[in-house]
Chain A
Amino acid sequence: MTVTRPLAGTLSVLDRPNSYIGKTVPRPNLDRLLQGRGQYVSDLELPRMAHVVFLRSPYAHAKIVAIDADVAKRMSGVIAIVTGRELEAVITPWVGVLSHLKGLKSAPQHAIAVDRACWQGEAVAAIVATSRAAAEDAMEHISADYEELEAITDMRTALDPATHVIHPSLGDNLAFERTLNAGDVDRALLGSEVVEADFVFGRHTGVTLEPRAVVADWNAAEARLTIYQGTQAPHMVQNIAALHLGLREAQVRVICKDVGGSFGIKVHIYADEMATYALSKLLRRPIKFVADRVESFNTDIHARDHRCRGRIGVRPDGTITVFEIDDLTGIGPYSMYPRTSAIEANQVVNLVGGPYVTPNYRARARVVFQNKNVMCQYRAVGHPIACSVTEGLVDLAAAKIGMDPVEIRRRNLIADDAYPCASPSGMKFEQLSHHASLAKLLQMMDYDALRAEQAALRARNVHRGIGIASFIEVTNPSAAFYGVGGAKISSQDGVAVRLDAQGSVICQTSITEQGQGSESSTAQIVGSVLGVSMDRVRVTLGDTDNTPYGGGTWASRGAGIGGEAALQAAKALRQNILDLAAAILQSTPAELDIVNNSIINAGDGAPRMELNELARIVYFRPDTLPPGIQPELMATRHFVPRQYPFAFTNGIQASWLEVDPETGLVTLLKHWVVEDCGTIINPQLVDEQIRGGVVQGLGAALFEKCVYDERGQLTNANMADYLVPMSGEMPDIDIGHVVSPTRESELGAKGAGEAGTAGAAAAVANAVNDALRPFGTIITEIPLTPQVILTALGRI
């Protein structure tokens, strides 16, 4: 690990004896999950609980003429069959816009389609029955009469005047457009070599192991709705459910126990989940909805699906003079609620060229409606697009002037001592480490030896390639992300810690856990700061009744924001404990410390009193305390970054692979990542986040794509035809770190959850092009399927 900038001063609150920070400690929830004692929503059974299945439109765009459910309603086990029109009485529609994304527009979306279905898979009726199987049986007996309408599927023609407008009230199919012009692009282009390419990104989706699942339980006696849901943002769900059901937030409780993966898929509000809340209220009983795999493919948000024209200007000495992009993306028929579907394109504009000093940057991004499933934020929102375009262009520029890809990066990456600084798109960088990361990467991969190996193999007709991709990552977002746009999505998080009567610690946090280890890192921080062993720290997450208010886990924010709140809360409790101990022991707080569950003398380490003894006195013999002392063995703190809108991180990845030019098959041989997420709380959790992220990026690079036909039918909505990356195809992934802590928090942690996904596809695409150099072929489309590669090579 290379530490570029140690925290100032002497020992921080984290550098303590028995500190868990920077150590790989096993996740406290591991045994529970491995022993099958996890509690996922699909495990939940409540008295009188019914199951809902949705009849979904088989057409991408159709008028709903009639739904005849008479036969189905009489089938055994059926409780109710509800249409969009009927459900409208219980739940109001929504429009997915944010005010800071100027001009963004969308149409009202209903929990269940009313009159018209706008994508294949949109729910048109709900079948509620005593079991999922009974509901599916009944569904087969509903006859729905549709009038098929023209489906707008090709984003390239969505804005043509001749193209039908999906929502006539909006006037056109343009949801959002953003332009940016920094520096003087035209002048800079004059003295430069210019290279252009069209970058094409497949539509893909998150494929969580556990599908989306919700149990909604309206308790009429309490006038209260309890929602059990696998969500990344419980308080956001609470706010939205209340808003559209006409309730106060206090009438909605959201409980989120174990979640089997999220990747951004579970941070949105889905129509079928809203329908489930509404059905519970309508039918006054608990209703469970668990998406099956086909539904997941048709309704979990999709992402990417961009076509981006990119241009780069470069001088013979390697100076990159210009980045220019024209990005187009199709988001389905509605902007998703409440985070909107303009964020990814907006991010692309924000991030292109981000690692480099190039001041001249022109960008346009357009977001259009189409009759396909909705698109929205998925792990590393916008980053893979921006990174692939930027890094693809940098490699093209290097090839144009005959410079090594490493050398051109060395000459253009922002210097490590240039911070703080800002990008042409206005992104503020506190402290990044591009050059230290590059140096570390080259050393890890033994770049020169690899180049020599490549040359030797090429002589034997074996075609291997090296691809490099620098990236920046948005983490720890402030209110600048959603709050300023009017969304009730909190950017602050809170943590409450309390000492129980036996000296153990109970910690409630508003961040959530979907497998990334939030529970573990919170316990590590609290244990370290307090001086309590981790086995005495219990962390509660995911319950709007029982945690402080906060944003949850998304946008690589859990460790950086929730972690800092945990640190500050633990610090406050520690101070309270030391004050109290000083009073009991007739000492001063400064002379005491807490180490390993005991109060000790700070000076000589001599034990003074165990924490459980202190707790006993406080809770059971307060009469023995000196007069005037009111112990407070619970402390709560909140945190939100204020100085920087985002804590940017950076890193660099490299891919080593082989292409068989006869079959078009790519074999991944090795992948390297160097990444700088600031303070590392748990190295294993960070590394596994990065590996998992890389794997998702490799999926995008080679495998994953939602294939639609021209009528808007998703033709590969199953695990056999939609190819997720599997272990057999994955290379070893080596990870190194550079550490530049953020000074916005005492913890110094930035996010790491999306770094892997940000740059993996770019590294692979560059490596494939590097391997194919002898053939004079450049491919700027992912996934890089055999069909794509063989076509580019002219083999077929």
Chain B
Amino acid sequence: MKAAAFAYARATSVVNALELLAAHGDKAKVLSGGQSLMPAMNLRLLSPDILVDIGGLAELRGIAVRGDVLVVGALTRHVDLLGSPEIALHAPLLRDAVAHVAHPAIRNRGTIGGSLAHADPASELPACVLALDATIVVRGPAGERRIAATEFFKGIYETALSPDELLVAVEVPVAGQGVAFFFQEYARRHGDYAIVGLAACAVVAAGSFSDLRLGFFAVGDRPVLAAAAGKLINASVTPALLAEATAALADELDPQEDQQATAAMRRHLAAVLLRRCAAALLARPELEKGATR
């Protein structure tokens, strides 16, 4: 459990980091919080020739509100999301989600940019940025690209980033009137990656959803923005309609089997989450029971 030998460069600016990445191509790896990268290297699952450490780049740090957009720098740590008043005010979903990410020691180092770039399908934050309709800001040799979160995740550990690009920020629309959030995940232990989880963002008016974005995670090779949500928008949510939506959700998801759960169990838990989400957001506990035998 020792990493293979590698070279190390501490980037002095974003431009310098991009130069280093351009020089070394896919033999280089960006080092951010190191909480996913270092374990993989110690297990020799990854053996990059060089690490480009972006940890010192103040320009990638910080949380700021610009108009109706909340800009979160790539180096913002999980612990910062937990404690930030801006996040609590404008995107509390991120705060609620990050409380489920690992443990304090890891949250003290892990970053939002690292989490999104790593794109673990069981991760919380990727599903959140889908639900929040966020934009991922990326810089490369050719300049800046802005990628909709829905276009960013491509598969297990795969994203729209190319090896010579750096994820620099995430832009989240600030929460407006009537916006409500729901976050829940099922894991056998606190801090573990979820068996199945849901990050949801809704606009509730007069007892029904005028918008509903359901970001499911650990249900496939990438986070899923469930189309089944459409069935519940601008409709009177009855147990029957909810059952219809959960059935549609089960069809839509293509979960994988692993040691924690079969695909069937994941579909079942996703349905439970959807019912609990609807019940919570509409403040109608009776919806939660659904089709319980």
Contact = CB atoms under 8 A, between A and B. Distances in A.
Interface string A707-734: 1000000011010110100101100000
Given A137-B5, A293-B1, A662 B272 contact: yes
B49 interface: no
Interface string B231-274: 00000000000000000000000000001111011001100100
B188 A665 contact: yes
A790 B259 CA distance: 15
B186 A786 contact: yes
B188 A663 contact: no
A484 to B, nearest CB: 42
Given A294-B43, A716-B259, A796-B265, A703 B272 contact: no
Given A662-B292, A663-B269, A786-B261, A726 B195 contact: no
A111 to B, nearest CB: 22
B74 to A, nearest CB: 24
A412 interface: no
A136 interface: yes
Nearest to B263: A796
Contacts of B191: 726, 728
A718 B186 CA distance: 21
B27 interface: no
Contact of A723 (B4, B186, B188, B261): B188
Contact of A796 (B44, B262, B293): B262
Given A294-B43, A790-B265, A785 B188 contact: yes
Contact of A294 (B1, B262, B265): B1
B190 A721 contact: no
Interface string A468-499: 00000000000000000000000000000000
B192 interface: yes
Contact of B259 (A132, A293, A715): A715
B189 A729 contact: yes
B2 interface: yes
A590 interface: no
Interface string A658-695: 00001101000000000000000000000000000000
Nearest to B293: A794
A136 B259 contact: no
Contacts of B289: 461
A513 B116 CA distance: 46
B272 A721 contact: no
Nearest to B188: A723
Contact of A787 (B43, B260, B292): B260
A238 to B, nearest CB: 30
B2 A707 contact: no
A729 B269 CA distance: 20
Contacts of B188: 665, 702-703, 723, 785-786
Interface in B149-201: 186, 188-193, 195
A93 to B, nearest CB: 29
Nearest to A728: B190
Contact of B195 (A716, A729, A786): A786
B190 A726 contact: yes
A796 B268 contact: yes
Contacts of B269: 663
B266 to A, nearest CB: 9
Contacts of A790: 265, 268
A613 interface: no
A729 B187 CA distance: 11
Contacts of B43: 294, 718
Interface string A99-136: 00000000000000000000000000000000011001
A292 interface: yes
B2 A132 contact: yes
A790 B293 CA distance: 13
A744 B192 CA distance: 49
Given A663-B269, A715-B259, A292 B1 contact: yes
A535 B201 CA distance: 63
Contacts of A787: 260-262, 265
Contact of B265 (A461, A718, A786): A786
A723 B188 CA distance: 8
A293 B42 CA distance: 11
Contact of B189 (A137, A703, A794): A703
Interface string A774-793: 00000000000111001000
Contacts of B259: 707, 715-716, 721
Nearest to A139: B44
A795 interface: yes
Contacts of A294: 1, 43
A715 B289 CA distance: 36
Contacts of B2: 132-133, 136
A662 B186 CA distance: 11
A795 B4 CA distance: 46
Contacts of A132: 2
Contact of A728 (B189, B195, B260): B189
Interface string B1-42: 110110000000000000000000000000000000000000
Nearest to B190: A728
A136 B1 CA distance: 8
Interface string A125-165: 00000001100110010000000000000000000000000
Nearest to A703: B188
Nearest to A665: B186
B190 to A, nearest CB: 4
B1 A795 contact: no
B114 to A, nearest CB: 17
A790 B264 CA distance: 11
A721 B189 CA distance: 11
Residue in B1, B4, B186, B264 whose Cβ sees the most chain A Cβ within 10 Å = B1
A721 B292 CA distance: 31
A780 B262 CA distance: 20
A132 B193 CA distance: 31
B53 to A, nearest CB: 20
A662 B274 CA distance: 12
Nearest to B195: A786
A702 B260 CA distance: 12
A64 to B, nearest CB: 23
A292 to B, nearest CB: 4
Contacts of A786: 186, 188, 195, 260-261, 265
A716 B190 CA distance: 19
Contacts of B1: 292-294
Nearest to B191: A728
Nearest to B275: A662
Given A293-B1, A294-B1, A787-B261, A795 B190 contact: no
Given A728-B189, A786-B195, 4 more contacts: A136-B4, A136-B44, A718-B43, A786-B265
Interface of B: 1-2, 4-5, 43-44, 186, 188-193, 195, 259-262, 264-265, 268-269, 272, 289, 292-293
20 contacts: A132-B2, A136-B44, A140-B4, A662-B272, A662-B292, A663-B272, A703-B189, A715-B259, A720-B192, A720-B193, A723-B188, A726-B189, A728-B190, A728-B191, A785-B260, A786-B265, A794-B293, A795-B268, A796-B262, A796-B264
Interface of A: 132-133, 136-137, 140, 292-294, 461, 662-663, 665, 702-703, 707, 715-716, 718, 720-721, 723, 726, 728-729, 785-787, 790, 794-796
